[in-house]
Structure 1
Amino acid sequence: MPRFSPAERWVHRTTALLLGMCVFSAGCLYLPALAELVGRRALVVTIHEWTGILTPVPALLGLVSRAFRADLTRINRFGPQDGVWLRAALRRDHRRQERPAGKFNAGQKLYASYIAGAVLVMAGTGLLMWFTGLAPLVWRTSATFVHDWLALAVVAVLIGHIGKAFADPEARRGMRTGRVERAWAAREHPLWRPDEDHGDGREDGRGDGHGDGPGDGHADAEHQIGGHERRVR
C-alpha cells in the first residue's frame, strides 16, 4: 500500500544528504583526527556553510506537493492518541496496543518538529558566525555557544533516528519505495486512514464534521483511543 509520494521521498533523501554533509563537515572542523584525515580546511568550511544554508530548501520546495503538505499537517497536529503513545513511551511500555498512532506516531512528530526547529536555529546562528559584521561580538559569542551545543544535540537525535530506522526494515522500505505492507501499517499505525492521504491530514479520530457516521471509521478510532486512555488510567 502507498505511504509516501515521490516528492516526499525526494525531500527526505535530499534533506538527509545535506544534513549528513553538514554534520560530517562539522566533525572535520571540530575533531582533530578528522581534520588531519581530510585536510583542506577552507574547502570544508565552505561545504559546511553552504550545506547548512541549503538544508531547509528541499522542504520549502516540497511545499508544491499536496501529499507533502498533507503530511506536514499531520505532523503538526497532536491528537489524543499521541498523548497515549507518549505516556506509554515514558513508562517504557512497548506493547503495540498501548501505542496507538496515525500515519505518524508521537515520537516521529516530536522528532520532525525538533529537527525543523533546530535547522532554523542552526542556520540563524551560523549566519551570525559566517557574516561577522551582522552583529556585535557578544551576539556572535552567544551564537557560537548555541550553535555548538545544539549541533551535539542534533547529532545525538540523528543517531537515535537512524537506529530506529535500522530496527524497522519495513519503515525503511516505505521511505525507499513509497510502499509498505498493510499488515505493518495495521500493526504500527492502526489509526492511519490511507484513503484520506490527500485530505486535510486529520487523524485524531474526531472527523472533520463532513459525513461522519458509524460506517466511516471515525467512531471506531475514537473508541479505540478511549480504550487506550482508560487502560492507562
Structure 2
Amino acid sequence: MTPRLDTPRPATDVRRFTPAARRVHRATAALMGVCVVTAACLYVPQLAELVGRRELVVRVHEWSGLALPVPALAGLASRAFRRDLRLLNRFGPHDRTWLRAALRRDRRHGSRPAGKFNAGQKIYANWLAGATLVMLGTGLLMWFTDLTPLRWRTSATFVHDWLALTLGIVLAAHIGMALADPEARRGLRTGLVTRNWADREHSLWRP
C-alpha cells in the first residue's frame, strides 16, 4: 500500500533550548569572555605590554563584569528559561547515581541517568552563578575604594584574584567538554538535538 503523502514523518530532532535561552547563554558567554580577556591583559605583563591603554582595559573589565547578571535577569521574562532554571536547581536520586558513575569514570549507557540537565551541568551552573555574584561583590569593593576600609578592599582583592583564576580553569574545562560534544554545541546553536543523543545522554528527559 502506498503511504499517504500527508502522513507526518517521525521526528528525528527534539527541541532542547528556546531562542531566549540561547540568547542568554550567548550574551553571558560573550560578557564572561570579555572579563577573562581583559583580566588576562591586566595581570599578565606580556599581554599588558602588548595591549597597553590600561585605563581603558580596566573600564571595559569593570562594566562587562557589572553587566554579567543582566542576560539572566532579562531571560526571566521567558517562561521556558524560568523552567530551565528550576530544573538546574533541583537535584534528585538520579543525580547522585550520575555523580557516582562520573567519579568511577563509568561511561556505560544507563550508568549516568539524567533529565534535561545532568548532575555535572547542575553543579557547574550553580557554582558559576555563585562565583559570578562573589566576583561582582568583590569587584564593587575594589572599584569604589572610598566606601570601605583598606582591610576590606585587601580581602576583596585576594578573593577576587584567586576566584578569577579558579573561574578561568573551570571555564576552560567547560569549553573543552563542549568541544568534545558536537551535538551539545548544536543544541546551543540551533536549539535542536537528535532524539538518539537525547535518549543516550539524557535518558530521563521527556521533551
- State the TM-score, normalized to the length of structure 2: 0.93
- State the TM-score, normalized to the length of structure 1: 0.82
> Residue 73 of structure 1 aligns to a residue in which SS?
helix
Q: Does 1:54 align with 2:75?
A: no
Q: Which residue of 1 aligns with 2:106?
A: 93
Q: CA deviation at 1:96?
A: 2.6
- Unaligned 5+ runs, structure 2: 1-13
Q: Which residue of 2 aligns with 1:23?
A: 36
Q: CA deviation at 1:135?
A: 1.0
Q: Does 1:168 align with 2:168?
A: no
- Output aligned runs, 1:1-233, within 5 Å: 1-194=14-207
Separation in 2 of the partners of 1:17 and 1:106? Answer: 25
Q: Which runs of 4+ in 1 moved over 2 A?
A: none
Identity of aligned residues (%): 71
Separation in 2 of the partners of 1:114 and 1:134? Answer: 28
**Cα displacement string for residues 106-156 of structure 1 (whole angstroms, at most 9, x for unaligned residues):** 000000001100000000000000000121000000000000000011001
> Residue 97 of structure 1 aligns to a residue in which SS?
coil
The one-letter code of the counterpart of 1:121 is: V
Separation in 1 of the partners of 2:112 and 2:165? Answer: 29
- Unaligned 5+ runs, structure 1: 195-233
Separation in 2 of the partners of 1:129 and 1:95? Answer: 48
The one-letter code of the counterpart of 2:160 is: H
Separation in 1 of the partners of 2:107 and 2:169? Answer: 22
Separation in 2 of the partners of 1:96 and 1:33? Answer: 46
Which is worse superposed, 94-103 or 109-118? 94-103
The one-letter code of the counterpart of 1:46 is: R
Q: What is the CA RMSD across the aligned residues, in angstroms?
A: 0.6
Q: CA deviation at 1:16?
A: 0.1
Larger RCO, structures 1/2 (Cα 8 Å, 6+ apart): 2
Separation in 2 of the partners of 1:104 and 1:36? Answer: 42
Q: Which residue of 2 aligns with 1:198?
A: none
The one-letter code of the counterpart of 1:102 is: G
Q: CA deviation at 1:181?
A: 0.3
Separation in 1 of the partners of 2:50 and 2:28? Answer: 26
